[in-house]
A and B are shown apart, each in its own frame.
Chain A
Amino acid sequence: MGRPVVQWQILSKEPDRHARFYTDLFDWKVNADNPLGYRMVDTGSKKGIPGGIWPAPPEGHSFVQLFVEVEDVGKAVEKATGLGATVIIPPQKLPEGDEMAILLDPLGVSFGLTKTGTGR
């Protein structure tokens, strides 16, 4: 099945401003009507992948993160750390059933691992 990049995410210091900018620029639709209040971004096209906007920590800066789909988030985390990655957020089960973990690669770039649950 490969390991596709299935989602992008903007970690934003000012999520509302970012959402406004991109909806104004590209006519994207942002919907935060979900238990985490997560701003899901619909680009309005079947091409490409969907995205989201999440608030960046106060001490951090805004940046983009990519999520790679795996069959087993725990095992993928184990493999990544064996290759030198650092765990930022250990595997979690999200309200709608997806699993997720955030890591830093050995060069300091953060990325997410995800497994789509049955809730979607």
Chain B
Amino acid sequence: MGLVKTNVTPSAPASSFRQLLQSELARRCAANPQYSLRAFAMHLEIDHSTLSQMIRGKRALTAAAIERLGGKLGLSSDAIAAWIAREKTALSAGAGGPREREVMELTRDAVSLVTDWWHYAILELTRLESFRADSRWVARVLGIEVDDVNRALSALLHVGLMEMRADRWIDTSGDTAASFGDFARATLERLSEQVRKLSLSADESVPPPLRDRTSTTVAVATASVPEAIEMIARFRREILGRLERDATRDAVYHLEIDFFPLTRRTEKE
């Protein structure tokens, strides 16, 4: 397949390098109906699943990656430096960078509608190679009613976390491993209760090599708690990054991390 001539300028109307990649791919696809993510990846000399993760915000865009990809896109060294600086600014401006902020915005919009565990499970299911855009199949796999799948589908389409394209359901959430920080209390309680039941059920039905549940109580110095929370965030990103690297996936898991004080603070504190 012939490669489309690059025409990316520093003034492209993207607010992040990820969006620049998205819009450039979209532009090429519009110019050539045969063009695909794979062709774009080939042009950029990068693995197509890696590129897909970058475009979906599932993989961080390091300075080295921006430099390499920017070069392939024909950007000038000044433009590349500007994009690197912009990404660094974005990262330092908020928790976890653009990807995390995007997720937070989505969770704020979705908070009143996306309230059951299977909403998230359906989004993740769409990433399995064996996924079938069939509510009856989804219901069977998740062990829920077809009506529950379809209610979830309506909610996900409404809040823009999913799109239906004939025989494909597309997860447009970017990431559903969101912090629950923006969830309304009632929603969080409902989700936690559902997850607790699923976890107990997995204890009985899933053999130990395929599940893990640990719980630890520990005395801490409160001053170290923010650092511990940062470590948890890193751990979450690391483990999700590792699991999402697999090109072929055949199951959906739930990872839940709780870290909270058992002791109460006194008035003096």
Contacts of A37 in B (CB 8 A): 135-136, 139, 146-147, 149-150
Interface of chain A: mostly helix, strand, loop or mixed: loop
Q: A15-B147, A35-B134, A35-B135 are in contact. Are A95 and B167 (CB under 8 A)?
A: yes
Q: Which of A35, A97, A117 has the most CB of B within 10 A?
A: A35
> Would you give the shortest CB distance from B115 to chain A, in whole angstroms?
8
Chain A residues closer than 8 Å to B167, beta-carbon distance: 35, 95
Residues 129-185 (chain B) with a chain A CB within 8 angstroms = 133-136, 139, 146-151, 153-155, 157-158, 160, 163-167
Give per-residue flags for A91-107: 1 if the beta carbon is below 8 A from chain B beta carbons, else 0.
01111010000000000
Q: Taking CB as reference atom, which chain B residue is nearest A36?
A: B135
Residues in B with CB closer than 8 Å to A58 are 151
| Contact, CB under 8 Å: B133 / A35 | yes
Does A64 reach chain B (CB closer than 8 Å)? no
Task: State which of B147, B148, B150, B166 has its C-beta within 8 Å of the C-beta of A95.
Answer: B166
Least CB distance, B208 to chain A, in whole angstroms: 35
Separation of A36 and B164 alpha carbons in the complex (Å): 11
B29 at the interface (CB under 8 A from A): no
Q: B162 to nearest A CB, angstroms?
A: 9
Whether B113 sits at the interface, judged by CB under 8 Å, is yes
Number of chain B interface residues as a range: 20 to 34
Closest chain B CB from A21 CB (angstroms): 16
Count how many pairs of residues, one from A and one from B, have CB atoms less than 8 Å apart in the complex: 57
Q: Is the CB of A57 within 8 A of B113?
A: yes
Asked whether, in the complex, the Cβ of A55 is within 8 Å of the Cβ of B147, the reply is: yes
Contact B165 A93 (CB under 8 A): yes
B160 nearest in chain A by CB position: A90
CA–CA, A42 to B112, complex, Å? 35
In the bound assembly, the distance between CA atoms of A55 and B154 in angstroms comes to 9
Q: Is the CB of B133 within 8 A of A90?
A: no
In the complex, what residue of chain A is closest to B134 when comparing beta carbons?
A35
Assembly CA distance A58 to B134 (angstroms): 21
Q: Quick one: which of A38, A55, A92 contacts B163, CB cutoff 8 A?
A: A92
Cβ contact within 8 Å between A95 and B113? no
Most buried by A among B112, B134, B149, B166: B166
Given contacts A92-B164, A95-B167, contact A57 B155 (CB under 8 A): yes
Is the beta-carbon distance between B154 and A57 smaller than 8 angstroms? yes
Any B CB within 8 A of the CB of A49: no
CA distance A97 to B165 in the complex (A): 9
Q: B198-238 vs A: 1/0 string, CB under 8 Å?
A: 00000000000000000000000000000000000000000
B134 touches A95 (CB 8 A): yes
> Taking beta carbons and an 8 Å cutoff, which residues of B are in contact with A?
112-113, 133-136, 139, 146-151, 153-155, 157-158, 160, 163-167
10 other A-B residue contacts (CB within 8 Å) besides A55-B150, A55-B151, A92-B163: A32-B146, A35-B133, A35-B134, A35-B136, A37-B136, A90-B163, A92-B157, A92-B165, A93-B165, A119-B166
